[in-house]
Amino acid sequence: MAQAKYSTHLGMVDILPDEVRKWQFLENLIREEAAKFNFEEIRTPIMEQTELIVRGLGQLTDIVSKEIFSFSRGEDNYVLRPELTAPVVRAFVEHHLDQRGGSQKLYYIGPMFRAERPQKGRQRQFHQFGVEVIGSSDAVADVEVIAFMIHIYNKLGIKNTTLKLNSIGDPESRETYKEALKAHLKPNFMKLSDLSKKRFEKNPLRILDSKEEEDKPFIENAPVITDYLNDESINHYNKVKEYLTDLGISFEEDPYLVRGMDYYTQTAFELISPDLGAQDALAGGGRYDLLVEEIGGQRTPAVGFAAGMERLLIACDELDIQLGNEKSVDVYIVTLGDAARKWGLSQLPNLRAKGVSATMDYMGRSMKAQMKDANRENARYAIIVGENELNEGKFTFRDMKESDEKSLPFEEILGLF
């Protein structure tokens, strides 16, 4: 085969029809289950203002400092959205969604963009589904969000997962902790990675999330944030743990778990799978009680998660979980001659109107080749039409599975569906 002249960009993949069937199955499942939780779908543009993402996620995060795809046009700066929490919060503020009353329970499914080094489970255009509950500070919201996330994996049969849980406290607790962390790191400041040195003053918590080897020894014995939580933060964290336990959702506390964005407060969590290899995070999320205000709204508590769809598909593959059905069509009309072809074309709408999927040959092939094609398309039935059939008004109706044929008027064939 000749080498194609054009290809997708690095880390961006085409999802071809056989794969798309799996995606549709997943998307339908997510939509059905979200409806059971009374979450409503929200859709926002693929591009956002750069300022929103920088401000929302934080200047020193990996995403903002290294991974955003951005460009300008005229006066405007655009970024391909790297995640959806900040855009959903922007939409919440822009459209005054608080005026709908109660807490907004939103979910989304869609592509995100990060210029990371591609590898298995890590792409530059990837897809997430996620939930954002905006307007509740109650631990019930945290736990419903976590329960929905886990529910999707369980529903698919992915049960061998670990929920990692932490609290990174409110701003007051975090200030005290930051000082303790800095005091711990300071004697070894010169040995830290360049990125961690940069983060030291402005955002030392991010150092805990460092992937650099040279930072590891200093992270391993750092003080833990849970020792610095104030009463309010401890109460919230305890309630989250209590409600999770009530629901039978097991978790592992990880006091060094900080998430990749600066907007998190209080609860932070990640869902890990041993079936994924190096990129083992299926999903992650937490509370972000300050983000709405940061973006220009009134202070409004919120909690959410985002899950990687590609990693979910990899996990299904590893566990031999079948998603969706094989390609198939209900009826294939096989025709011989022009008049039959015209008849076939005009009957397709009648079949489709009955809810039956129907197709015919588009390539003027022989009857034999059409029968072969009907098999390749996994047709359940074939209607075979030639000049004789047209004259008699009776058509061969073939059950492709049972290899059984009947000669019937078209009305009767339609009546079988």
The residues of the shown chain that bind ligand AMP, judged by CB under 6 A, are 83, 114, 116, 121-123, 126, 128, 260, 281-284, 306-308, 310-311
Quote the least distance from Cβ 279 to ligand AMP, whole Å: 7
d(CA 149, CA 165): 14
Residue type, 410: F
Minimum distance between the CB of residue 237 and ligand AMP, rounded to whole angstroms? 20
Q: Which is nearer to ligand AMP, 45 or 187 (CB)?
A: 45
Phi-psi region of 208 (alpha: psi -120 to 50; beta: other; left: phi over 0): alpha
Please, where are the H alpha helices in 58-204? 62, 85-94, 139-156, 171-185, 194-202
Cβ distance to ligand AMP smaller for residue 114 or 398: 114
- Dihedral over Cα of 50, 55, 56, 59: its sign: positive
Residue nearest to ligand AMP (CB): 308
At 100, which amino acid appears?
R
Nearer to ligand AMP, 193 or 279 (CB): 279
**Smaller CB separation from ligand AMP, 105 or 311:** 311
Nearest approach in angstroms of CB 116 to ligand AMP is 5
Smallest gap, in angstroms, from Cβ of residue 69 to ligand AMP? Answer: 12
The candidate with the shortest Cα–Cα distance to 305, out of 129, 175, 185, 179, is 129
What is the dihedral sign for C-alpha 191, 196, 202, 208? Answer: negative
Q: Please report how close the Cβ of residue 53 comes to ligand AMP at its closest, in angstroms.
A: 12
CB of 190 to ligand AMP, least distance (A): 30
| CB-nearer residue toward ligand AMP: 106 or 385 | 106
Q: Give the E-state strand segments of 27-183 in sequence order.
A: 40-41, 47-49, 70-73, 76-80, 104-113, 125-134, 162-167
**Contact by Cβ (8 Å): 329, 358:** yes
The candidate with the shortest Cα–Cα distance to 37, out of 93, 103, 95, 96, is: 103
Nearer to ligand AMP, 110 or 260 (CB): 260
Q: How far is the CB of 169 from ligand AMP (least distance, A)?
A: 19
Q: Which is nearer to ligand AMP, 139 or 313 (CB)?
A: 313
Burial of 48 (0-12, 13-18, 19+ CB in 10 A): buried
Q: How far apart are CA 396 and CA 410, in angstroms?
A: 9
Cα–Cα distance for residue pair 88/70, rounded to 1 Å: 19
Of 169 and 284, which CB lies nearer to ligand AMP in the complex structure? 284
Alpha-carbon distance of 206 to 177, in angstroms, equals 13
Instruction: Quote the least distance from Cβ 101 to ligand AMP, whole Å.
Output: 29
